[in-house]
Amino acid sequence: MPWMFRGLRNGVLTTGYPARPDPYGEAWRGAVRLRGSGVPAPGAARLGCPTGALSEAPDGLRLDRGRCILCGRCVEAAPEALEWQAGAEVAALRRDDLLAPSPGPEDEDLEAVRADLATRVSALGRSVHLRHVDAGSDGSEEWELAALWNPVYDAHRLGIYLTASPRHADVLVVTGAGARGMVAPLLATYEAMPRPRVVMALGTDAISGGLVAPSYALTGGIGAIVPVDVWVPGSPPSPLSILHGLLLALGRLPDRRGGRS
Amino acid sequence: MSTDPSGQVLPLSRGSWAEVLARHGQGHRFAGLLAAAVPGGTRLTVVLALADRLQGYDRLVPDELARVDSLTAHLPAAAWYERAMTDLHGLRVDGQPSPRPLVLPLPGQVSPPRPGGPAPSPALEPDEHVIGLHVDGPGMFTIPHGPVRSGVTESVEYLLETPGEDISHLHVRVFAKHRGIQSRFSGLGLPDATLLAERVEGVASVAHATAFAQAVESALGVQAPVCAGLSRVLHAELERIANHVDVALRLSEAAGLSVAVSRLGWHKERVLRLVSQLCGNRFGRGVVIPGGVSRLPGLAGEQVVAALTGIADALLADADALMRTPSFLDRLRGTGPLDHGLAARHGALGPIGRGSGFDDDDRRLRPYAGYAQLCPEPVLGQAGDAQARLAVRLGEVRESVRLARAAALALEEHRGEPTSVKLPAEDGRGLGWAEAPHGEVLYDVELRAGTVLRAAPRSASLHNLPLFATTFQGDIFTDFPFVEASFGLPIAGVVL
Ligand code: SF4
């Protein structure tokens, strides 16, 4: 049996993330960001953002990472105002946390969100089961989610499993821009899950509809269909970004950098 | 109708299908039937694959008529296209043998979205009750499977209609994830439209962007520089390797070969990482632009060759082991057979056609980008079963490795040259095509002052998926995962 011996050579491939930083993830261009606060708007129109992720306000440029598809056009057009942000850890627990500048301080609110989520996930055992639903993706998000169980990311080592049955699912992972034909099946899956449950919007399409919305056939994000607990931007997000989002929602990120916000 | 100086699209004389059918009768493959709302009516475009290029034929169906005679009676491969046409444009197709909704079931009183038209459609709720089901006889029962499926898969629903263990009929319902992509193209500038093309079928981003860009280039009468063509080849072949490995992985998963699954997952990850080293994106997004490429690969030719050789040595050894694993081959041999005659009549695309001995590959027959220079070798099967389709894919992986290396090296001689040409902001219409991992992707693009007036993509998935239901024999429940994986068709590209 050739496969037995082939298998043995796989052991050393697995990332040390989240216990240790992952070099591929650290170098990943996971987001764009404003260079400082109160960045004077260079004329949002001139930046040519394809998804309307950039807008102008009296106090300067606004960036919505939940709409950004990481095309890099704005960074090229106005390097004085925008830059790439390295790192795969881009997920957020509140939709507003994807906005820059942040619409308000509201740290108490984030604490409340965290506390609520912590109560819910504390009921989960060491093993967590995911149910995935495609609500109108382009197919790339599925590849990046499925990659979590390849030997490089090996989500099993973290007790993260896929389940076919919504009745055994703790986390609902939703991809796609919210195809109207998927609204009822998505709701049915959500309703069939036991409580407590956690919902992830995987990818910019799932967060805001991305570039494929607006469309007669789309809700423009899955937040219009089910309540979302964790938002993972990217078009598609890298597997490490998805893993980060899961661990963030589950409260399982180690505090290796003296506390991340 | 729009001008097309390149002659890629011709009007049909006498407003009938006669000419198209005559040409098809001369052996030209039916490549698709596209529809777009134009002033005064609906423009139907039949695309035929001639020996060295694709050719479109336009027919206008006036709004006051809103009906047309079916092509399907003569050309069964047109069936799904006509159903989509009825859904999206409300056209009545006289003589269509199976006029059920496909991509967007709407109640009769609701206006269809009419892609290509001037105004975006308001939100439309699909209503599955409109579809209805035809049941073949008494004692039949229907087993629904989907649209939410197990594992990480795209949404699609299979309805098995069966009197017992054997399959009687398999209905494929694809409408659930219709996204209205064709409408979304209208009005976009070329850079945005290219990014959208990458998201029509995300796992074939490079092929879609390339076909779109080439349609624009023909419409405007410009040609991308040599280095851009070679970059497109490099990225397209890496995309092919990743997709073919993905199919092998899914087949191994269906057979419960956990070590093979994990090894193939590792290879696929390495390919995607190499792509991200070249361009910053794991799917090659942002590379292809109309007129050329945005940038050359971020690694020198020698580095690409070294990286790819490391990946290929391990990958091809595992591919050989897979094709020598008897328990695995037992599940694939004879499973999901597609005979050569049907494959040829339907014009089955990509590895599905080639696994049945139907040899058509745009890279060789209708070369684009850098393919004429690199001379891809054909990889063909005969048996037409799941095993033949996998063997074709694994053979293509080997050939893709060669092509990618050759493209990377050839590119070095063109470093420093401009990577794109400037596009005039003019009107025009053009067809573009590319051989995606799943088969030929084509775009019909119409420009007005350099922005997209209308664009219609056609993926290989839409063309090939109707064949899926014809390949079941015997016990569907054990064969299903293998047949599905061996088809390996992304659903995003089917319904758009
Ligand atoms: S990188 Fe994001 S914010 Fe910048 S232009 Fe592209 S989509 Fe817009």
Sequence-separated (6 or more) residues with CB below 8 Å from residue B119: none
Give the pLDDT confidence of A184-219 residue by residue, as tens digits.
999 999 999 999 999 999 999 999 999 999 999 999
* Shortest Cα–Cα distance, A198 to chain B (Å): 17
Cβ of A29 less than 6 Å from ligand 1: no
Inter-chain residue contact A212 with B179, CB threshold 8 Å = yes
* Token pair in block for residue A50: 């394809």
Interface confidence (ipTM) of the complex: 0.95
- Please identify every stretch of chain A with a pLDDT value under 70, giving residue numbers as ranges: 1-2, 4-5, 7-12, 38, 41-42, 104-106, 256-261
**Amino acid found at B166:** D
C-alpha closest to that of A227 among A204, A257, A197, A194: A197
Please state, in angstroms and as integers, the Cα–Cα distance from residue A178 to each residue in A104, B208, B343, following that order: 28, 22, 35
Contact B427, B452 (CB under 8 A): no
- Chain-chain contact of B269 with A152 (C-beta, under 8 angstroms): yes
Confidence at residue A194, expressed as pLDDT on a 0 to 100 scale:
94
Predicted local confidence at residue A7, as pLDDT:
63
For atom 2 of ligand 1, which residue has the closest CA? Answer: A68
Q: Which residues pair with A57 in a beta bridge?
A: A60
Dist CA A183 CA B471 (whole Å):
31
Contact B325 A185 (CB under 8 A): no
DSSP per-residue codes, chain A = -HHHHHHHTTGGG---TTTS--HHHHHSEEEEEESSSSPPP--HHHHT-TTS-EEEETTEEEEETTT-----HHHHH-TTTEEEEE-S---BSSGGGGEES-S---HHHHHHHHHHHHHHHHTS-SSEEEEEEESS--SHHHHHHHGGGSTTT-GGGGTEEE-S-GGG-SEEEEESS-BGGGHHHHHHHHHHSPSS-EEEEESHHHHH-TTT-S-TTB-SSGGGTS--SEEE-SSSPPHHHHHHHHHHHHT----TTS---
- Judged by CB atoms within 8 Å, which residues 182-241 of A form the interface with B? 182, 185-186, 188-189, 205, 210-212, 214-218, 235-236, 238
**pLDDT reported for residue B474:** 66
Regions of chain B where pLDDT drops below 70: 1-6, 133-141, 164-168, 474-475
Closest protein CA for atom 5 of ligand 1: A49
Ligand 1 pocket, residue A177 CB under 6 Å: no
In the numeric block, the tokens 């993509």 are attached to: B457
| Closest CA to ligand 1's atom 6 | A71
Q: Which amino acid is at B73?
A: A
Query: What are the chain A neighbours of B150 within 8 Å (beta carbons)?
Result: 164
CA–CA separation, B266 vs B242, rounded Å?
11
Token pair in block for residue B37 = 């709302």
Strand partners, A230: A200
Question: Which chain B positions have a beta carbon within 8 Å of A72's beta carbon?
Answer: 280, 286
- Judged by a CB distance cut-off of 8 A, whether residue B409 touches chain A is no
Q: Which two tokens stand for residue B201?
A: 């079928």
| DSSP sequence for A141-155 | HHHHHHGGGSTTT-G
- Ligand 1 atom 4: the closest Cα is on which residue? A74
